[in-house]
Amino acid sequence: MEKSIQELPVLQTITLDVRGQVCPATLLVALENMNTHRSALLGGAAKLHIMTDNREATVTIPGTARAMGYTVAVVHATGYYTIEIWRTTGSDKGGLP
């Protein structure tokens, strides 16, 4: 059964701007926020929106987030990348370690 737009929950967007930082600093900031907002992310109430200009971060952050059971999207914007991290409720991935 499909949900209408009105029935979908409103997600809290947690925005991180790590432009100018390089890995592993970008990954550490992302991990810190995934852990800080873990309950909201796991419950599907929030998503992380990360802005980075470090190309390596577009590999390390999504790989780590996927390994933790999150869904990830990477988009190339003008001059930087955005990485969206979220978890849909009812995911068949088990709880995080």
Q: What is the per-residue pLDDT across 22-40, written as a single tens digit (0 to 9) for each?
A: 989 999 999 999 999 999 9
pTM equals 0.80
Helices 57-67 & 25-36 angle (0-180, nearest 10): 30
Name the DSSP class of 85: E
| H or E stretch covering 13 | strand 12-17
Share of the chain above pLDDT 90, in %: 77
Mean pLDDT computed over 67-85: 96
CA 54 to chain centre: 16
- Total domains present in the chain: 1
Residues of the domain holding 63 = 22-47+56-82
Residue 88 clears pLDDT 90, i.e. is over it: no
**77 Rama sector, left if φ>0, alpha if ψ -120 to 50, beta otherwise:** beta
Share of the chain above pLDDT 70, in %: 80
Tell me if 75 is assigned to some domain.
yes
Tell me if 32 is assigned to some domain.
yes
